[in-house]
Amino acid sequence: MNAADALRALKARGDAANAARMVAYHKAPRVYLGLPNAGVDALVAEWRGALDIAGRTALAEALWRSDIHEARIAAAKLLVQARIPEDEPVWRLVTSWAQQFDAWAIADRAADVGSRRLVAAPERLDEVETWTKAENFWTRRAALTFTLPWAKQRHPRAADLAHRERALGWAASYAGDREWFIQKAIAWWLRSLSKHHPERARAFLTAHGERLKPFALREAGKFLRA
């Protein structure tokens, strides 16, 4: 399976009417084929079965470069896997994507890849921390979406608690950021945390909630209300 064949397969399943709706919805200026998620998933499953991790990484890199919405979604889905021996090429690829994020759907699918690679090697948090100062707010947002696994753990170990606190520190530094997607990411992180560790989410909101936008404060506390 090469990139040209993969792109032809995606384009063959496109829907022009749906593509027009996707342009209006996602707003990011790129080509949209109008292919529903189920169609992308079916093709990705076929490609994953035919390629080893090196082949999937190469295909993902080429699909991403096309800058077609569905191709970038497929690129991320190709690499979602908990255990990948020698995963540095995958990490390097997904971190290069993080510098180019410009829309939530693609960024969130890439975070599905990046979060697994972070859990596999938490020392990579040092690199992710540099994103918190990025000019591109989508890259800053990725520091939270990539670390979401530490918000969702039921029984974190001591090391996991340290990673969780590090991410919460980044969220606290973002609390005064007026960008809607940054506020949404903070709320998402805290809402996830509150499901299993409500006391920590409450403590964060007590300390920083007054700097959040009202919608983010409401969403963050959704599961904390009596």
Domain ranges in the chain?
1-78, 93-226
Tokens standing for residue 72: 């970038």
**Whether the predicted pLDDT of 47 surpasses 70:** yes
Chain segment 151-166, per-residue pLDDT in tens? 999 999 999 999 999 9
6 in Cβ contact with 68 (< 8 Å): no
Chain segment 125-138, per-residue pLDDT in tens? 999 999 999 999 99
**Whether the predicted pLDDT of 43 surpasses 60:** yes
Query: What is the per-residue pLDDT for 27?
Result: 86
Fold of 93-226: Leucine-rich Repeat Variant (1.25.10)
**Whether the predicted pLDDT of 1 surpasses 90:** no
**Whether the predicted pLDDT of 202 surpasses 90:** yes
Chain segment 63-79, per-residue pLDDT in tens? 999 999 999 999 999 99
Lowest mean pLDDT among 13-17, 181-185, 202-206: 13-17
**Whether the predicted pLDDT of 226 surpasses 80:** no
One-letter identity of residue 1: M
182: pLDDT confidence band, cut at 50, 70 and 90?
Answer: very high
Query: What is the per-residue pLDDT for 6?
Result: 97
